[in-house]
Amino acid sequence: DTEVTQTPKHLVMGMTNKKSLKCEQHMGHRAMYWYKQKAKKPPELMFVYSYEKLSINESVPSRFSPECPNSSLLNLHLHALQPEDSALYLCASSQRQGETNYGYTFGSGTRLTVV
Amino acid sequence: AQKITQTQPGMFVQEKEAVTLDCTYDTSDPSYGLFWYKQPSSGEMIFLIYQGSYDQQNATEGRYSLNFQKARKSANLVISASQLGDSAMYFCAMREDGYNKLIFGAGTRLAVHP
């Protein structure tokens, strides 16, 4: 079982809908990430949160809005998406640089389809 | 800017044989980490092995080993005794220690034949 839990596993939404993706980890990691992965492509970094503060935004459109309510939770709020936003959305967490076991743990992902 | 290159879009291997998946990287940061992940069709990214830029020995994890050639900036993954369950997409990734970002190569799809 993965130690990073993502819900839902599958999501179909219309272009006018508002939905949220959720990610939870209980490993004490202080950095959390959102990645977007299109079919047959590598994951692309979207956002990085470090100690619950947004540290990196890779020029992601504003229709994607991240939120980190506490050190264990990471949300991605979706609004007015386009069909080309359909993808696998992966959440990950890691220890901070300089700490031991600086590995990245990924969740199973949410498969999003925008219709 | 960092860059990861995986030149093999697809690889085939016979069950029980060894296979090497290539990865080269480019960075000006002297301190960095290299990772290999496996992604089956289910989508989960499974961590396989890690090599730090200052590590003196090549990393090994069970059937996985990393052939780290720092001067050539290569970090090839070697899978020994391939199993049918090894069929998946494999990604090489790098993190520069000055940046909390993990960046992936294009990936190699491995198919293990019985």
DSSP assignment of chain A equals --SEEEE-SEEEE-TT-EEEEEEEE-S---EEEEEEE-TTS--EEEEEEETTEEEEE-S--TTEEEEEEETTEEEEEEES--GGG-EEEEEEEEPPTTSSS--EEE---EEEEE-
What is the structure's pLDDT at B14?
Answer: 97
The alpha carbon of residue A43 is apart from the nearest alpha carbon of chain B, in Å, by: 7
Name the pLDDT band for A92 (thresholds 50, 70, 90): very high
Please return the burial class of B87, using the count of CB atoms within 10 Å of its CB with bins 0-12, 13-18 and 19+: middle
Query: Nearest by CB to B100, which of A2, A97, A111?
Result: A97
A44-59 pLDDT, tens digit per residue, is: 999 999 889 998 888 9
Q: Which amino acid is at A25?
A: Q
Q: CB B43 to CB A97 under 8 A?
A: no
Strand B19-21 and strand B3-5: pairing?
Answer: unpaired
3-state DSSP assignment of residue B14: strand
Chain A residues closer than 8 Å to B8 by CB: none
Mean per-residue pLDDT, B75-91: 97
Enumerate residues 6 to 35 of chain A having a beta carbon within 8 A of any beta carbon in chain B. Answer: 31, 33
Query: Nearest by CB to A42, which of B33, B35, B91?
Result: B91
The alpha carbon of residue B52 is apart from the nearest alpha carbon of chain A, in Å, by: 10
Average pLDDT, chain B: 93
Name the pLDDT band for A2 (thresholds 50, 70, 90): low
Weakest-pLDDT range from A42-51, A99-108, B65-74, B80-89? A99-108
B36-49 pLDDT, tens digit per residue, is: 999 999 999 999 99
Q: Which amino acid is at A63?
A: R
DSSP B71: T
Residue B93 pLDDT more than 90?
yes
What is the structure's pLDDT at A32?
Answer: 93
Asked if B21 and B79 touch (Cβ cutoff 8 Å), the reply is yes
Q: Judge whether B45 is closer than 8 Å to chain A, CB to CB.
A: yes
Q: Judge whether B64 is closer than 8 Å to chain A, CB to CB.
A: no
The alpha carbon of residue B2 is apart from the nearest alpha carbon of chain A, in Å, by: 13
Enumerate residues 65 to 84 of chain B having a beta carbon within 8 A of any beta carbon in chain A. Answer: none
3-state DSSP assignment of residue B85: helix
